[in-house]
Amino acid sequence: MTSGEIRAPGGNAMDLTSGPIARTLLIFALPALGSNVLQSVNGSINAVWIGQLVGETGLAATANANLVMFMMFALIFGFGMASTIIIGQCAGRGDLAGMRQGVGTGVTLFFVLGLVATLVGWLTAPQLLHLLGTPDDVFPQALIYLRVMYLGLPTSLLTVFFAMAMRGAGDSLTPMLLMLPGMFIDIALNPLLILGWGPIPAMGIKGAAMATLIANFVSFVVMVAVIYARDLPVRLRGPEWRYLVPRRDLVGIIVGKGIPMGLQMVVMSVSALVMLGLVNREGTDTVAAYGAINQLWTYIQMPAMAIGMAASAMAAQNIGAGKWDRIDRIAVAGVLVNLALTGSMVVLTLLFDHRLLTLFLADHADAIMIAEHIGLLASWAFILMGVTMVLSSITRANGATMVPLVIMVLAYIPGRLGSIYLLNDSIGADAIWWSFPIGGALSLLLTFAYYWQGSWRNIRLLATVEEAEEFVQSEGEPTGRILPNG
């Protein structure tokens, strides 16, 4: 196989470096959007099982445990995004060996991180839950749930990595399809293990965690089996197994670029916690309203997340192929598709907000009225955030990670939180809701300025094909290394 033969037989990989940009972007983004929807549906159904079969304390326990898991995933997820950039650029330039070296290094790194996170998480779980202020009546169940979830981290992280790697190689459909077996198993096992059946004892909240643990392991096994059965580009065979020995230069890129990207998710998480604390001061009805509108916002954000992922993968491949003339067109197409999809979601949500909110708030008229008010003031901010996501995803596709992190910190701290402080005396609780569009507008302006200024285009993340080959042959020459930059 030559270096240019990226697509293996039976794969669903798309050529992201040629053809109509907007159409290709949309087709590539739709399966990613489907993956986001499936994850949310799976989480919602499991929450219903736990709420109905375990009770309020069980639901509160999973909420606390999941927040801890999300914070841990946040940092590690950045490493996956960095690996995807490497794989995407190698795929774009037709460097199959380089792409598989990225896969091998990523697999080893994620497996080791998973083992370390499992050990550290198991030992520190009580302290983390106390740090979150987990109520005493919720703490025992939250600890059980969290520790069982930690056991599945190594395979869960590898599953996420392989899905991201396939998307980087141009295949967003296969990862979506491979989610289905694990999703069905998770949904089916939850009531069975919570309540027990026949020789299976009733395990309560531990059963809910075990269901997810088993489902994630099955997903990993199925994913690896399909990768090898269909001979997908992200597989390793024969002499390629040596790629599992991490290359120092690739580890440098993954860690150096992954930490800032992971920190962006941490900033978002911390900001969400601070916002929740501010909302908690407004009373029970406002807290319930905020929780309900957040359920709707979860789905509003999905198109932007999918389009951002697609734009990043598409940009990475075109950068790898040296087709810089297509990058601005990818940005324009991504912005327009985001405006259409996210804008439509916002409009539909506002038109039918009362009926949708009733699903979560039943007949709590005061809370529904507050939630409608929050949605009217803040929901359209996600259109701005979607445009920002597209532009920042494209700059990250060339390894620009520090400036987007700084922009996010500025948008969330002086932007969002600062606006609440300045406006609180004059408009009260509305300052919280107005902070969403204010922070979104600041983030968009700064991101657009950085994109337009163009210094991110000068970053040289990956070496050329010739330099990469020289590295493989010499294993020590500086010219053969894939160097981090910026």
Q: Three-state SS across the chain?
A: CCCCCCCCCCCCCCCCCCCCHHHHHHHHHHHHHHHHHHHHHHHHHHHHHHHHHCCHHHHHHHHHHHHHHHHHHHHHHHHHHHHHHHHHHHHHCCCHHHHHHHHHHHHHHHHHHHHHHHHHHHHHHHHHHHHCCCCCCCHHHHHHHHHHHHHCHHHHHHHHHHHHHHHHCCCCHHHHHHHHHHHHHHHHHHHHHHHCECCECCCCHHHHHHHHHHHHHHHHHHHHHHHHHCCCCCCCCHHHHHHHCCCHHHHHHHHHHHHHHHHHHHHHHHHHHHHHHHHHCCCHHHHHHHHHHHHHHHHHHHHHHHHHHHHHHHHHHHHHCCCHHHHHHHHHHHHHHHHHHHHHHHHHHHHCHHHHHHHHHCCCHHHHHHHHHHHHHHCCHHHHHHHHHHHHHHHHCCCCCHHHHHHHHHHHHHHHHHHHHHHHHHHCCHHHHHHHHHHHHHHHHHHHHHHHHCHHHHCCCCCCHHHHHHHHHHCCCHHHCCCCCC
**Which of 223, 246, 269 is a domain's end point?**
246
* Banded model confidence at residue 321, pLDDT cuts 50, 70, 90: confident
| Backbone torsions φ then ψ of 176, nearest 5 degrees | -65, -45
Residues 236 and 255 in one domain: no
Tell whether 239 and 260 lie within a shared domain.
no
Contact 109, 154 (CB under 8 A): no
Q: What is the pLDDT of residue 368?
A: 83
Could you tell me which of 88, 4, 6 has the C-alpha nearest to residue 399?
A: 88
Q: What is the pLDDT of residues 61-111, one digit of tens each?
A: 776 677 677 777 776 778 888 888 888 888 888 888 888 988 999 899 889
**3 part of a folded domain:** no
379 plus 466 within the same structural domain: yes
- Give the Cβ contact number of residue 338 at 10 Å: 25
CA distance 456 to 395: 6
**Per the domain annotation, does 17 fall within a domain?**
no
Q: Do 311 and 329 sit in the same domain of this protein?
A: yes
Q: Which two tokens stand for residue 268?
A: 């978002």
Same domain, 170 and 75: yes
Tell me, what amino acid is at 1?
M
Q: Does residue 24 sit within a domain?
A: no
Is 15 part of a structural domain of the chain?
A: no
Span 108-129, pLDDT tens digits: 988 998 899 889 888 988 887 7
Domain end position, chosen among 246, 270, 303? 246
The answer to whether residue 287 sits within a structural domain is yes
User: Angle at which helices 430-453 and 418-427 pack, to 10 degrees?
Assistant: 150
Same structural domain for residues 47 and 191? yes
Task: From 337, 344, 384, 346, select the one nearest 30 (Cα to Cα).
Answer: 337
Q: Report yes or no: 118 and 110 within 8 Å, Cβ to Cβ.
A: no
Determine the structural domain holding residue 394 and report its residue range.
Answer: 249-486
Same domain, 296 and 164: no
Rounded to two decimals, the pTM is: 0.79
At 12 the pLDDT is 67
CA distance 129 to 125: 6
Going by pLDDT thresholds of 50, 70 and 90, the confidence category of residue 322 is confident
87 contacts 102 by C-beta, under 8 angstroms: yes
For the record, the structure tokens of 82 come out as: 């960095």
Query: Residue 377: which of 445, 425, 439, 304 has the closest Cα?
Result: 439
Provide CB contacts within 8 A for 21, sequence distance 6+: 314, 326, 329, 330, 333
**Domain for residue 108, yes or no?**
yes
Domains of the chain: total: 2
Q: Is the pLDDT of residue 4 over 70?
A: no
389 in the same domain as 483:
yes
45 and 77 inside one domain = yes
Contact between residue 268 and residue 297 where contact means Cβ atoms under 8 Å apart: no
For residue 200, list its beta bridge partners.
197
Distance CA 84, CA 429 (A): 41
Whether residues 204 and 264 fall in one domain: no
Contacts (Cβ under 8 Å, ≥6 apart) of 206: 144, 145, 148, 193
The torsion angles phi and psi of 95, rounded to 5 degrees, stand at -100, 85
Domain-located, residue 274: yes
Q: Is residue 88 left, alpha or beta, with left meaning phi > 0 and alpha meaning psi from -120 to 50? A: alpha
- Mean per-residue pLDDT of the chain: 82
In a shared domain, residues 217 and 323: no
CB-based contacts of 35: which residues, under 8 Å, 6+ apart? 163, 172, 175, 176, 179, 306
Instruction: Answer yes or no: is pLDDT of 272 > 80.
Output: no
Measured CA to CA, the distance from residue 248 to residue 18 in angstroms comes to: 33
CA 21 to chain centre: 23
pLDDT in the model for residue 55: 66
**What would the mean pLDDT of 142-149 be, rounded to a whole number?**
86
pLDDT score recorded for residue 145: 85
Phi-psi region of 201 (alpha: psi -120 to 50; beta: other; left: phi over 0): beta
Q: Are residues 124 and 268 in the same domain?
A: no
Between 28-37, 290-299, 327-336, the lowest mean confidence (pLDDT) is in 290-299
**How far is residue 486's CA from residue 482's CA, in Å, rounded to a whole number?**
13
In a domain, 23, yes or no: no
pLDDT digits (tens, 9 = 90+) for 329-380: 999 999 999 999 999 999 998 898 888 888 767 677 888 888 889 889 999 9
Angstrom CA distances, 393 to 52, 77, 324, 448, stand at 40, 15, 15, 12
- Residue 56: the pLDDT is 59
Domain boundary among 211, 246, 281: 246
Question: By C-alpha distance, which of 42, 99, 101, 109 is closest to 77?
Answer: 109
